[in-house]
A and B are shown apart, each in its own frame.
Chain A
Amino acid sequence: MGNKIANRQVICDTLLELAQSDRDIMVLASDSRGSAAMGPFAQDYPEQFVEVGIAEQNIVGISAGLAHSGKKPFVTSPACFLSMRSIEQIKVDVAYSATNVKLIGISGGISYGALGMSHHSVQDLAVTRAIPGLAVILPADRHETKRMTEALVNYEGGVYVRIGRNPVEDVYESADYDFVIGKAVTMRDGSDITLIAAGETVRIALDAEVKLKEAGVSCRVINMHTIKPLDEEAIIKAARETGRIITVEEHSVHGGLGAAVAEVVVQHHPVPLRLLGIPDEPAIAGKTKEVFEHYGISAENIKNLALDMLGQ
């Protein structure tokens, strides 16, 4: 598990491989080719690369026009701007017009730790998942990011992907597993409680599971890599079989993964549910781990919360 690599790097590497045989793949950047790690793509495939400058509305509109003409555009732009500044273009030009645009929000969540609320992206899931027809995906590690990127090339429709900035620890041993958009992955099975996480918090949930096992608790861990379309079946099953759920996310507790899970649980199989995430405030500055610790997004806190829910 020591092999750490940033998911943005994996997306570039995968697209470099695929673009050679698929000339319709295009990458767009908003003065972000460096932060998206797309420099090599721009270098190797200049005819399949488009720079739009610092203009997030424009990058989405241009991509929609390219997609309308048969291209497979991958927009790589900071998640905070891509998801908010151009949300109307995402709604109208991508989702409503049904164009095949892949929106890759880079440096999402609180990746830009010390840069403050303007650069944090902890409302993006709330905003994007409210848009009909738009898929929303958070890959957990390099293996999942690779499999996701391959799947995106063959997926017809608009998708918002959120990845972080920094290298992340593996959660899979290899890319040899079943990745399907809209289908959650049960990383650990268990019967007392379920942890549902997405993106970089999957690693934290897995670490919590180890601690809970030591405390004698059988804990299920679900990697909900697709926030939309949500795998409702996996959630209902978890509610029915484990009776308690904790969601863990790098997002505001309003409108993100936890809220999405809560919508399903309360309508189909109400059980005690706790939402771990960023509270309704401008997030504190710091490195990801420091910020996570501050808000209780940690294996230790999850263990304590789970034990509390279990009455132990």
Chain B
Amino acid sequence: MEIIELKAKAAQIRMDLLQMIHGAKAGHTGGSLSNADILTALYYRVMNLDPARPKWEDRDRFIASKGHAVESLWCILADRGFFPKEELETFSQFGTRLIGHPNNKVPGIEMNTGALGHGLAISVGMALASKRDGRGYRVFCLMGDGEQAEGSVWEAAMAGAHYKLDNLVGIIDRNGLQISGSTEEVMGLDPLDEKWAAFGWHVISIDGNDMEQLVDTLEAAPTVPGKPTLIIANTVKAKGISFAENVPHWHHHVPSDEELAQALAELSAVLAGYQQEGQVR
């Protein structure tokens, strides 16, 4: 997929997830909107995968360590054909497999995550297996910035560098907000880049809502032999909705009918712009 198509796809995914959350009256809206561009870049361009064979041995692996922001992932997996799109209507409903966190009963989900601070260690294990088996698949692990306060993240960071896992890519969705306020107020993280670098990772900071930067960085990763890569993807929480961006309570705010209508109108206009631009090209 070309960059302009990816941008249009991300806008569509944002519309899908807002409708899904509105329908279910539940969800983590802010974080799913902030990571929608990252996941779009991974699932439509960067990762080596085959929706017809979700367990194909040489696929790249994706672990959503910030499991609460699963809504964008459900919409993307459905759109890519891992399961029928109609199933999105069951999100968060009684007996569904599309629960509020990644669930490996759903094709395309590798592991159950959601308890924060678990994903990177699992990813280290996968990347290590890839190395020991000489397979060469890459492992992408998306973490939240609030999640960086979990000590287990740093245990895994140490191990990733120790085992020289240059097929491992950590991504931090650095939107600066967590449920109780800004990350710097709740538990200061900066200088986050220096911390990861000190742990032996190759650190790259980008605009995590800029599709060109995302694709360039993710496609090139890993960039340094013998080192895992850590991408600090600076994003905007609730990105894409003018009145929700950077507003803390949108962490898990469910849009009202009016808010949904306005958000969809904004995103439709953005989408139409990309579609027009794509046709002109």
Interface residues of A (CB under 8 A from B): 47, 50, 52-53, 55, 57-58, 60-71, 73, 88-89, 91-93, 96-99
Contact = CB atoms under 8 A, between A and B. Distances in A.
A65 B126 CA distance: 5
Interface of B: 104, 110-115, 117-118, 120-130, 132-133, 151-152, 155-156, 158-159, 162
Contacts of A65: 111, 121-129
Given A70-B129, A92-B115, A97-B111, A55 B158 contact: yes
Interface class of chain A by DSSP: helix
A24 to B, nearest CB: 9
A69 B155 contact: no
Instruction: In the A-B complex, list the 3 residue pairs whose CB atoms are closest, starting with the nearest.
Output: A65-B125, A61-B121, A69-B129
Contacts of A55: 155, 158-159
Given A47-B132, A53-B158, A58-B155, A66 B114 contact: no
Contacts of A53: 155, 158-159, 162
A58 B156 contact: yes
Nearest to A69: B129
Contacts of A57: 117, 121, 151-152, 155
B114 to A, nearest CB: 7
Report which residue of B118, B122, B130, B151 has the largest number of chain A beta carbons within 10 angstroms of its beta carbon: B122
Contacts, number: 96
A57 B158 CA distance: 13
Given A58-B159, A65-B125, 5 more contacts: A50-B128, A64-B121, A69-B125, A91-B115, A97-B111
B103 to A, nearest CB: 9
B152 A58 contact: yes
B259 to A, nearest CB: 33
Nearest to A47: B132
15 contacts: A53-B159, A57-B121, A58-B155, A61-B121, A62-B125, A64-B122, A65-B126, A66-B128, A68-B111, A68-B125, A68-B126, A69-B125, A69-B129, A93-B111, A93-B122
Contacts of B126: 65-66, 68-69
A27 to B, nearest CB: 13
